[in-house]
Structures are given as structure tokens and as C-alpha cells.
């Protein structure tokens, strides 16, 4: 996926409730600078935050999982690093779907809640970022704030510390027969929303 200067892309951050139409100002390999058409202060964005970027290239809609490198409120720009991407035409899209979702995590029956940001999710697992240090193989209960609220349990199977957060790979443990269908419907909703939003670029 080669994004060019002047391309129109969509940006989604967990603090916002919608996709933001944006213009690519710079593109250097996997690092790009974008300027949202709307005021960037509408997003409560920080360095290290996961952001989802959508674009159309060669008649294919791509969804990329990105990390925020910098945010310039005066210039109304975001600098992003593209970590990986999927095309919505890929039948295996749901193996790892890029998202930027707010979630609350709890350990066992504790009422203490920890902030987590979901960076990608599939039917079998997900990747999250958190400031909190959890041990490997800890099971966590999640409440994911999306168009629908999703409750699930997941066990930490991978843990990496980066400059800004801990990054965790988790295996989902289904205990409710309705959760997989709810998750599937939500991912299809995200896919369709992304495709429709990108198509409107051409119309406008």
C-alpha cells in the first residue's frame, strides 16, 4: 500500500464518534502526515495512541492500523506510523481487523477498572495498549465501548513494553454463545461504514 501526497484518507481515533476526512501532506514509507478537514482538537489524541486509517488505492479499500507519532494542534496535523493494513476485499479480513476502541478491563471479580485501547481484534484474539502492567497469562474481563457494548474475557499471551504503553496480545475466551455473533456483526458494520465513507470521497 503506497499512500501518496494529496490522497484523501479517513482517520478514526477512539476519542471520536466518527470517521474524519483527511488530506495526506507527507508520505515517507510507513510514516505519513495527514491534515483532518475538521478541527483536530475534536480528538483527544496523544503520542502512542492507535489510529485507524482508511484509503482507496487501485479500486481497493484499505484499512490500516497506525500509531500516533505526533499531533500538531496549531497546524491541525497528525503524524502516523502505519503498522499493518488489510483490504476490505480480503475474505480473511476478520483475522485481524484494525480498530481504535476504548475499553475497560477488570481482573477477576475486582471492581477496579483499567483503561485499555483496542488496536485490532479478530474472532479469536485482540491487541490492546494500556499504561498498566499486567502479568503474562492473566485473564482480564473487558467491556469494549463500540456501537454496541461488547463484554468478553481474554488471556494475555504476549506482552511488549514500548515508549508509551504496554502492548498485549490476548486470546479471547468465549463464555457467552451470543458474543461471537455480536462481534461479527460489529466488524461487518465497521467494514461497511469504512467502504461507504471512502466511496463518498469520489462523489464529493
Q: Where are the domains of the chain?
A: 8-92, 97-187
Kindly tell me the number of DSSP H helices and DSSP E strands found in the chain.
1, 12
Under-70 pLDDT residues of the chain: 1, 89-95, 202-204
- Partners of 45 in the β-ladder: none
Distance from C-alpha of 19 to C-alpha of 2, rounded to nearest angstrom: 21
Q: What's the confidence (pLDDT) of residue 92? A: 55
Can you give the pTM of this predicted structure? 0.84
CB 172 within 8 A of CB 127: no
Q: What's the confidence (pLDDT) of residue 1? A: 65
Distance from C-alpha of 29 to C-alpha of 21, rounded to nearest angstrom: 21
Here the cell at position 123 is 474472532
Q: What's the confidence (pLDDT) of residue 53? A: 93
Q: What's the confidence (pLDDT) of residue 97? A: 84
Look up the CATH architecture of domain 97-187.
Beta Barrel (2.40)
pLDDT in tens, 116-171: 999 998 888 999 999 999 999 999 999 998 777 889 999 999 999 988 889 999 99
CB 97 within 8 A of CB 139: no
* Homologous superfamily of the 8-92 domain (CATH): Electron Transport, Fmn-binding Protein; Chain A (2.30.110.10)
| Residue 8: CB atoms within 10 Å | 18
Distance from C-alpha of 20 to C-alpha of 25, rounded to nearest angstrom: 15
**Residue 72: which H helix or E strand, with range?**
strand 60-72
Amino acid at each position: 500500500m503506497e499512500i501518496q501526497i494529496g490522497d484523501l484518507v479517513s482517520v478514526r481515533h477512539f476519542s471520536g464518534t466518527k470517521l474524519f476526512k483527511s488530506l495526506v501532506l507527507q508520505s515517507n514509507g510507513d510514516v505519513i502526515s495527514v491534515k483532518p478537514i475538521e478541527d483536530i482538537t475534536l480528538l483527544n489524541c496523544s503520542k502512542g495512541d492507535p489510529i485507524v486509517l482508511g484509503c482507496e488505492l487501485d479500486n481497493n479499500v484499505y484499512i490500516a492500523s497506525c500509531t500516533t507519532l505526533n499531533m500538531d494542534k496549531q497546524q491541525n496535523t497528525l503524524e502516523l506510523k502505519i503498522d499493518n493494513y488489510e483490504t476490505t476485499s480480503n475474505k480473511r479480513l476478520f483475522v485481524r481487523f484494525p480498530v481504535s476502541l476504548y475499553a475497560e478491563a477488570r481482573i477477576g471479580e475486582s471492581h477496579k477498572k483499567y483503561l485499555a485501547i483496542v488496536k485490532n481484534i479478530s474472532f479469536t484474539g485482540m491487541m490492546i495498549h494500556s499504561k498498566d502492567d499486567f502479568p503474562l497469562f492473566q485473564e482480564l474481563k473487558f467491556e469494549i465501548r463500540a456501537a454496541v457494548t461488547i463484554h468478553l474475557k481474554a488471556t494475555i499471551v504476549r506482552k511488549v513494553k514500548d515508549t508509551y504503553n504496554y502492548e498485549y496480545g490476548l486470546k479471547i475466551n468465549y463464555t457467552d454463545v451470543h458474543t461471537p455473533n455480536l462481534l461479527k456483526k460489529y466488524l461487518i458494520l465497521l467494514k461497511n461504514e469504512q467502504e461507504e465513507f471512502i466511496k463518498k470521497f469520489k462523489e464529493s
